[in-house]
Structure 1
Amino acid sequence: MFTNLAWWRTRALLVACIGTCGVGVAWSAPVSQALDRPAIISQRAAQSVLLGIAQAGKRLVAVGERGIVVVSDDDAAKWHQVPVPVSVTLTAVRFADDKHGYAVGHSGTVLATADGGETWTRVLDGRQAAQISLAAAQASGNATALRDAERLVAEGPDKPLLDLLVLDARRAIVIGAYGMAYSTTDGGQRWTSWADRLDNPRGLHLYAIRRHGERILVCGEQGLVRLSQDGGQTFAAVKPPYNGSFFTAELPSDNEIVVAGLRGNMLRSLDAGVNWKQITAQDTASITGSASRTDGSLVLVNQAGMVLSEIKGALVPLNGTPLPSLTGIFPKRNGSLLALSIQGIVSVPNGGQK
């Protein structure tokens, strides 16, 4: 079910390879050991595979393979690694404010910080998540959900979380492989399964979650798109005209949805998913990440190492020379761009300006 890209982001946007790096290690590796083993401190942590980045006040925080978390307090000039209680790959990170944030990753891991990313505490893992899913399935009486939850328990903590939405310091939603979805309202002390809200009986992988006001969007494998208009209380299925996987999404404005992913496909709807327009790309490299710049324009990256922007209805590369295979993009406050790659953090030449 997973593409090579999904394995990286598992984030998306799972350490295998985007493109030419080969096939990754199976999830049957000793994940429980990595889940309970602190990350190794490395002098080259900032040059490792990095999959997520976020702003925490004036600090930048990036996460990636083997539990690496690196922070910068000088606008990305220098980075240093901080201690983390797990060595599983971390796939995404988000902050509610300059102090409170969460990161997710392999083995159903959720980490929380209350000091801007300097220290981290594990607040959920795949073993706990499986028990939460089992209790929810037993309460629902849904035979399919019960079977799937029992399988989660039996297989152990081998499934990754891939993205998260942080609503405030105490409320967060995390999503991942095989339809895993959980929320907390108390800073991670207790978690509730959200799987029954997303109409995903086949357990398709969930790759991205975004919010704009009361609207929450979830997208994933095989064209899955779910949209809530009431802050996540209920979700409706949205059917874009493409059934390939969407690894990233944005909600740029009211009623606007952008989804992008496999084979360079990007689609936009201006009416909450009723009608769609295909945004053409110059090649078929999968789109691995996206972000909104300060002027409201979108910037995307793909596994071929290209930074992309929409110009006159088409996706156009902003860099003439490919960067390493890219996993994410981050617009800095001064308008310049940082890209995440299989070789760490790289600055986009000229801020991605033509």
Structure 2
Amino acid sequence: MLLRHLPALAGLCLLATHVQAEPPALDYPIRPQQVLLLNVTAPGDSLVAVGERGVVLRADKQGDQWQSIRTPSTRTLTGVAFVDANQGVAVGHGGTLLRTTDGGRHWQAVEADTNDDALLGVAALTDGRMAAWGAFGLYLLSTDNGVTWQRHSVLDEDFDRHIAQIIVLADGRWLMVGESGTLASSADRGETWQALESPYAGSLFGALQLQDGGLLIYGMRGNLWYSADGGQTWEQRDTHTTFAFNGAIQLRSGRVLLLGNSGVMLASDDQGRHFSALPSTHASLARAIERGDSQLLAVGDHGVMSLPSLATTGQD
């Protein structure tokens, strides 16, 4: 079933609270516009998207023809990341970890210490390192491109907040955002974390470093914050909405786009200093990537969407 609202679209409202029998594995074609998709990435010359019921969709770089891939899981997949054109990892509910070595054509289950808690995201970071994160402080590191994983604590042993995203900053630090205003940085490639003063006590769903070094963090109820000093101080940006923001991207043109629930999209053409509303997409969006032809491909509760007009720079 497609969901009208996708708070965080990282899985925060989709967490399984009870163990349920798994439905039969998918073995039929999935239409790319009729499935809930939560993440998309572009390894090599292909596109890979993941979503509900263990769905993996794969296409060439143009995104014209999508093939549904059967995986070992029927749990909702929330994140996908590749270290190169062939090696990638997808994560999801119930502690699901899947790995591919052929660009997403085939997937194998990977064991890790997750306690069956939901994984909400994964990233390929630096020097063969990957990080996966999720509910109740679940945080895993891999140093071998996702073959094996080790569980680590965040901040302290009692940390139990949902982690929404981890990104690598230009200065080499890692930045983490999450539930209850979680904001932390790591100077040792994710081994240990130090709390940063957060400007917001509610849930943060994502972060983006801009081309000029500025930082954006965003989340619930239209909250959007900007930092020009690496996260030491923050200024709130007026978004004129109370819908959650799920993703952000800076295009090659320099334009910054924020993707939200219920079709909300904002754009900035001055490195995040001011934002204005774009026409509604009439669909909640989770993530987007810019294709080589400058068109934007997004995923959300209407599956795959092409948004060609948003890649051009405008004036706020």
Whether the 8 Å contact between 1:281 and 1:314 is mirrored in structure 2 is no
3-state DSSP of counterpart to 1:72: strand
1:27 positional shift: 2.7
Q: How far apart, in 2, do the equivalents of 1:255 and 1:51 lie?
A: 27
Which residue identity is paired with 1:208?
Q
**How has the CA–CA distance of structure 1 residues 207 and 287 changed in structure 2, closer, same or farther, with 3 Å as cutoff?**
same
Residue 334 of structure 1 corresponds to: 293
Which range moves more in the overlay, 64-73 or 309-318?
Answer: 309-318
CA distance in 2, matches of 1:351, 1:170: 34
Kept in 1, the 8 Å contact 2:255–2:269? The answer is: no
Q: Does 1:10 align with 2:19?
A: no
**In structure 1, C-alpha distance between the alignment counterparts of 2:157 and 2:304, rounded to whole Å:** 35
Match of 2:17 in 1: 27
The letter of the residue matching 2:275 is L
Q: Give structure 1 stretches of 5+ with no counterpart.
A: 16-25, 131-156
Secondary structure in 2 aligned to 1:81? strand
Residue 226 (structure 1) aligned with residue 213 (structure 2): no
Q: Give the structure 2 partner of residue 98 of structure 1.
A: 85
Give the TM-score normalised by structure 1.
0.79
Q: What amino acid does structure 1 have at the position aligned with 2:114?
A: A
Structure 2 unmatched runs, 5+: none
Over the aligned positions, Cα root-mean-square deviation in angstroms equals 2.4
Change (3 A) 1:296 1:193: farther
Structure with the largest fraction of helix:
1
- Checking the alignment, whether the CA contact within 8 Å between 1:91 and 1:105 is kept in structure 2 is yes
Length-normalised TM-score, structure 2: 0.88
What is the CA–CA distance in structure 2 between the aligned matches of 1:226 and 1:202, rounded to whole Å?
12
Q: Give the equivalent residue in structure 2 for 1:56.
A: 43
In structure 2, the residue matched to 1:184 is: 142
Describe the superposition over 1:258-285 as per-residue Cα deviations: whole angstroms up to 9, x where unpaired. 2101011111112122111111102111
SS in 1 for 2:185: strand
Check if 1:69 corresponds to 2:56: yes
What amino acid is the match of 1:52? Answer: N
d(CA) in 2 for partners of 1:308, 1:240: 23
Decide which moves more: 297-306 or 186-195.
186-195
Aligned to 2:111: 124
Give % identity. 31
Q: Secondary structure at the match of 1:233?
A: coil
Given that 2:8 and 2:245 are in contact with CA atoms closer than 8 Å, whether structure 1 keeps it comes out as: no
Residue 26 of structure 2 aligns with which residue? Answer: 39
Whichever residue aligns with residue 323 of structure 1, its letter is H
Per the alignment, residue 274 of structure 2 pairs with: 314
8 Å CA contact 1:223–1:245 kept in 2: the answer is: yes
Instruction: Output the amino acid matched with 2:51.
Output: G
- Say how many residue pairs are matched: 306
Report the counterpart of residue 171 of structure 1 in structure 2. 129
Matched AA of 2:201: N
Query: 1:100 touches 1:169 (CA, 8 Å); kept in 2?
Result: no
Alignment equivalent of 1:258, drawn from 189, 202, 216: 216
Which runs of structure 1 show a deviation greater than 4 angstroms over 4 or more consecutive aligned residues?
Answer: none
Which of 196, 199, 207 is the matching residue for 2:164? 207
Q: CA deviation at 1:292?
A: 2.4
